[in-house]
Amino acid sequence: MAESGLVIVDKSGGMTSHDVVARVRRLAGTRRVGHAGTLDPMATGVLVVGIEKATRLLGHLALTEKEYAATIRLGQSTVTDDAEGEVLPPADGATGQAGQLTERTLRSALAQFTGEISQVPPRISAIKVDGQRAYRLTRAGAAPELAARPVTIRQLELLDCRPADADLIDIDVVVTCSSGTYIRAIARDLGAALGTGGHLTSLRRTRVGTYEIVAARTLDQLAAEFEFTPLAQAAAAAFGCLHLSAEEARLVSHGVRLPAAELAARVKPRDVVLDAASPDAASPGGASPGGASPGGATLGWAGAGGATLGWAGAGGASLDGAGVGAGADGSGSAGAGTNGADTNGADTSGAGTGPAGANGSGSVGDAASAAAPVAAFAPDGCLTALLVEQDGEMQPLAVFAP
């Protein structure tokens, strides 16, 4: 059996997230592989991939905050809200002169889309409407009306602005957002607010929870030397930690709930995340570089600046291998894929895991109404379970031992 752990992949453009899973399956020598949040074929960057038992972490990692570097073209709209779709005529798209926009106007418009907002997902998405995927209905000529969903955009910052072609301009932005956010929808809505039309032309995911792009490896690099973060280390890096007694570990491994009052005070903050050069990251042949993001990365359950992320739903999450994806746009938010013959966020080639929120929106929930998971370890250091406090008890979300 292959060892359990997380692989932080730097996905290339032009391939689906399921393509990445298929490649990692071959490299790891197991079919039990999944990912924690879809990236559209056009998008590049961080894709968290789980192997063997680590696939049980994916549904929980998918709900963490994400960060993107994106380029938005103003002055032109497309059917898919990104560069892969057909350009719409001015009557349905651009109505103003994007080339006349000032930096002040752009920053003011971007500010309207920060904080807790309601966002209508793109019609080319895997969200179900009356049992049918929205992208299928749209391509069949019966474009559905999708309901707005709550998302949180903590940062939407303008980095650069430059002419593109004729009266088109390209703007570079950095986005920090909750799971379930569509970056394509931000581009579409920004263009509508400015009266110019807009669409996404490039997207790179630079962070998923604690895992940053500096720790990611391309598939070619992984083929040369396969690197992963061992299961226990990965859990300690992403969640608060609770060290159990032998008897507590035995009970939890059998699904027994423990009194929260006795355990809550023993929960410690997550361990310092190892950088890419750490000798503790593993490979089949022994210690090798890899693993999680550098120390000081944002907590998986709290945004930088103290914005705590609640325990939210992963509605419509994509299931690759045994993973659950609930990413943010370009990332196929809330399990939605995008154009072309990709997984469309609906691939179900294995058994998925992970909780779904009440509204299934994959958006950030109310931190006051739910607790973040805690990684519980046996005395020998092995990961026993992920626990969550509810109704005065620590309840197992996922059990890893025996």
Catalytic machinery residues: 40
Distance of CA 228 to the CA centre of its chain: 19
* Spatial distance between the Cα atoms of 320 and 332, rounded to a whole number of angstroms: 13
- Lookup: tokens for 142: 């019966």
* Spatial distance between the Cα atoms of 247 and 99, rounded to a whole number of angstroms: 68
Rg (CA), the chain: 21
Tell me which DSSP letter residue 215 carries. G
Torsion angle of alpha carbons 37, 229, 42, 78, nearest 10°? 30
**316, 335 in Cβ contact below 8 A?**
yes
- In Å, how far are 48, 83, 180, 355 from 330, measured between CA atoms? 15, 11, 11, 22
Q: Taking Cα atoms as reference points, which of 182, 162, 208, 217 lies closest to residue 62?
A: 208
In sequence order, the 6+-apart residues with CB closer than 8 A to the CB of 360 are: 313, 314, 315, 316, 334
**151, 364 in Cβ contact below 8 A?**
yes
In sequence order, the 6+-apart residues with CB closer than 8 A to the CB of 353 are: 55, 56, 58, 59, 322, 323, 324, 398
* Spatial distance between the Cα atoms of 327 and 65, rounded to a whole number of angstroms: 9
**99, 167 in Cβ contact below 8 A?**
yes
Strand partners, 17: none
